Amino acid sequence: MSQTATPESTTTNVPAAAAAARQASSRAGSAGIPAVRPEPAATSASKPDLGPVTFAKALNTALADALEADPAVVMFGEDIGTLGGVFRITDGLTARFGRSRCFDTPLAESGIVGMAVGMAMNGMRPVIEMQFDAFAYPAFEQIASHVAKMHNRSRGRLKMPMVIRIPYAGGIGGVEHHCDSSESYYAHTPGLKVFVPATVADGYRMLREAIDSDDPVMFMEPKKLYFSKEKVDLEALRAEYEAGTSRTEGRAVVARAGTDATLIAYGPSVPVALAAAEAAAAEGRSIEVVDVRTIVPFDDETVCASVRKTGRAVVVAETPGFASVASEIVARVQERCFHSLAAPVLRVTGFDVPFPAPKLEHYFLPSVDRILDAVDDLQWED
């Protein structure tokens, strides 16, 4: 079933996606590319001659660097050895580090996660791959009952330093079971951390951080971004990471500054939110975009500082909205920012339906238009 979602067919890049989104929008006038978030030294700004790097390459580099840095790091999953993973995220790692560091397992997701739990109990730092979002469900018992609870159950005597990498969410025209937004299940489970990178540079930083975390991390990789490109200096990212100056855990980031309203998004919805902000700018509205980055732990401060400043907010997420991460963000913002709000906090999410078939997914996914409509609904006085 994975043919429909091979690396080739999923190639998308952020500017192109944003451009497509704008084209689909009947109201966007601007032809500019989304504003680049204020980034530290690692971005293209200071080094214009850097080549473009894909999100996939950044993740692959982070995995290689982690294997290099710590002999306890070990990777396994389905097709991640010889093949390098169906999305090639582990490409070349077995050749470079050997089969004892990066290897294939039998097809059994509970087995992969359960074995990782035992390895983590015995001194290793497993980094495992679930082939697709919906194929992680057989492992849910291990994740919810052991990965999440072992540290608590043992009063901190057993740590679970493991990362569960999950290619996730839609926007790639994938068939059923290949496009689920499953982050809300994990975010609802105490004991798990949930990281969702949205940019190439964050892909590197957040994966290194996840691997070095002594807590288990669900690492959600928006698969529509795998082959998006940014000009980043991987060497500089590595140096920054090793110097400890690029921490992301619990730190949301303002991806685009603005004054009139805040779009709060994470992972696959960040580029869409940026495109919407760009389109709104053409209409004279200044929209701030906050990229949540780590759902758990959640950065209330950055999110609320932005909402208090703008007084209006829309949460954008691909997941079905009911009882989701998006609902949680809305609740938190209203609890904390009520007196700064000029309008109720709104949501633009997927509908409460199973992820649709490829020809229907564009009706489901949050779009620039839908976001702009929600922004329009924020009770403007004019």
Is 188 an annotated catalytic residue? no
Q: Between 152 and 245, whose beta carbon lies closer to other proteins? A: 152
What is the token pair recorded at 199?
């940019």
Q: Between 74 and 290, whose beta carbon lies closer to other proteins? A: 74
- Give me the residues that bind other proteins (CB under 8 A), please: 74, 100, 105-106, 108, 110-111, 113-124, 126, 138, 141-142, 145-146, 149-159, 190-191, 193, 214-215, 250, 296-298, 300
Query: Is the omega angle on the peptide bond into residue 216 within 30 degrees of 0, that is, cis?
Result: no
Q: Smallest distance from the beta carbon of 30 to other proteins, in angstroms? A: 37
Please list, residue by residue across 74-106, b when 16 or more beta carbons sit within 10 angstroms of its beta carbon and e when fewer do: bbbbbbbbeebbbbbbbbebbeebeeebbbebe
The catalytic position among 151, 178, 188, 339 is 178
Q: Smallest distance from the beta carbon of 8 to other proteins, in angstroms? A: 31
Q: Smallest distance from the beta carbon of 140 to other proteins, in angstroms? A: 11
Q: Between 105 and 367, whose beta carbon lies closer to other proteins? A: 105
**What are the E-state strand segments in the chain?**
52-54, 73-77, 102-104, 125-129, 163-168, 193-195, 217-222, 229-231, 253-256, 261-265, 287-291, 294-296, 313-320, 346-350
CB 175 within 8 A of CB 4: yes
Q: What is the dihedral of CA 340, 344, 350, 351, to 10 degrees?
A: 160
CB 248 within 8 A of CB 224: no
Q: Between 28 and 304, whose beta carbon lies closer to other proteins? A: 304
Distance CA 308, CA 339 (A): 8
Q: Between 43 and 294, whose beta carbon lies closer to other proteins? A: 294
Q: Smallest distance from the beta carbon of 320 to other proteins, in angstroms? A: 23
| CA–centroid distance for 93 within its chain | 23
Q: Smallest distance from the beta carbon of 339 to other proteins, in angstroms? A: 19
- Give the CA radius of gyration of the chain: 20
Q: Between 157 and 339, whose beta carbon lies closer to other proteins? A: 157
Strands 313-320 and 261-265: parallel
Distance CA 228, CA 11 (A): 7
At residue 16, the 3 state secondary structure works out as helix
What is the token pair recorded at 57?
């390459």
Distance CA 36, CA 256 (A): 7
Q: Smallest distance from the beta carbon of 150 to other proteins, in angstroms? A: 8
> What is the set of active-site residues?
178
